[in-house]
Amino acid sequence: MIYLLLSIASSSIIFLVFKLYDTFKVNTFQAIVVNYLIATTCGFMAYGKSVNLTIIPSYDWFPGTLFLGVLFIVIFNLMAITTQRNGLSVVSVATKMSVVLPILFGLIYYKESSGALKILGIVLALIAVYLVSLKNSSEISKVKNNGLLLPILVFLGSGIIDTSIKFLEDSFVAEQDVPLFSAMIFLTAFVLGIAVLFYQIIQKKQHLAFKNIIGGIALGIPNYYSIYFLVQALRHPTLESSTVFTLNNVGIVMVATLIGILFFKEKLSTKNWIGIAIAVVSIILIAVVKS
């Protein structure tokens, strides 16, 4: 359970860093690219052994890290475009509701327990995530005008990332290789990101700034550990993946909302408060009540 709590904490810090980007006018794309480099470095350091890059392609999980690295970059850009066209709330809902995909994968592929109370808890958790994520109803209404394609792609991409991480760590990744596995995902994302960034610099569409590097460092450390701790939580013998993903997602929403209230004076609507109440009930059903 400690790994799950640490994953929630790391992911919540990511939310805090992104909010601070707005305050300090940090270029998000540049910071994201630097973040991938920092996350890669964290992975190599946590591995604790000398890394021979020439033999890494021989690992069974290597193709999966390339796939995930590409998805990280693609989904990030889709989220940025969706935010511009449909609004932040739409992206938030699409990303957080994507947890339904790894949950279903765990229930169907791994034949995880699906007692009535657990299913009720999962359904309530999804409802809670939706309600808490609704910050501006006018943004949600934009989807009708701008189409559903982008939000659907964000939903599918985010869900596929979590599902793939579960499948790869369970089927191919040895316990001692978890830091290296995580690092290679970020390294792939960094290589693609830096290529795009250099191209934009050449085209004079981007200009490097020191504060963006600092922003990337601040993001990279919690970003790495959010994946590392999530993988460790998924490996716990007493926690099923459907339980881990549900509690992780609801926990992040709850903590991020609390950060928004305490540090950024965000106001919650009646729907948000109802969502928080439902989230508490869902956590009790999933974490405390035995299926």
Per-residue pLDDT, 170? 92
SS3 assignment, position 290: coil
Q: What is the mean predicted confidence (pLDDT) over 222-246?
A: 92
Give the range with max mean pLDDT: 59-63, 248-252, 255-259, 267-271: 59-63
pLDDT at 184 over 60: yes
| Predicted TM-score of the model (pTM) | 0.87
Start-end of H helices in the chain: 2-24, 28-47, 62-86, 88-97, 100-109, 116-133, 137-146, 149-171, 178-202, 210-234, 241-264, 270-283
Q: Could you tell me how many residues make up the chain?
A: 291
pLDDT band at 39 (very low <50, low <70, confident <90, very high): very high
Q: What is the mean predicted confidence (pLDDT) over 283-287?
A: 84
Per-residue pLDDT, 268? 83
Per-residue pLDDT, 162? 93
One-letter amino acid for residue 177 of the chain: D
Least confident range from 30-34, 40-44, 157-161, 287-291: namely: 287-291
pLDDT band at 136 (very low <50, low <70, confident <90, very high): low
Least confident range from 3-12, 85-94, 112-121: namely: 85-94
- Return the residue matching tokens 């994520």: 133
pLDDT band at 265 (very low <50, low <70, confident <90, very high): confident
pLDDT band at 139 (very low <50, low <70, confident <90, very high): low
Q: Which of 133, 19, 32, 129 is nearest to 76 (CA)?
A: 32
Per-residue pLDDT, 31? 92
Between 81 and 243, the higher pLDDT residue: 243
Query: Distance (Å, rounded) from C-alpha 34 to C-alpha 216?
Result: 5
pLDDT band at 165 (very low <50, low <70, confident <90, very high): very high
One-letter amino acid for residue 199 of the chain: Y
* CB 284 within 8 Å of CB 147: no
* CB 10 within 8 Å of CB 225: yes
One-letter amino acid for residue 264 of the chain: F
pLDDT band at 138 (very low <50, low <70, confident <90, very high): low
Per-residue pLDDT, 285? 86
pLDDT band at 291 (very low <50, low <70, confident <90, very high): very low
Which two structure tokens, joined as six digits, stand for 117? 């109370």
Tell me the HSE value of 52 on the side-chain side, using a 13 A CA sphere: 4
Q: Which of 162, 165, 95 is nearest to 129 (CA)?
A: 95
pLDDT at 243 over 80: yes
Query: Distance (Å, rounded) from C-alpha 7 to C-alpha 20?
Result: 20
pLDDT at 204 over 90: no
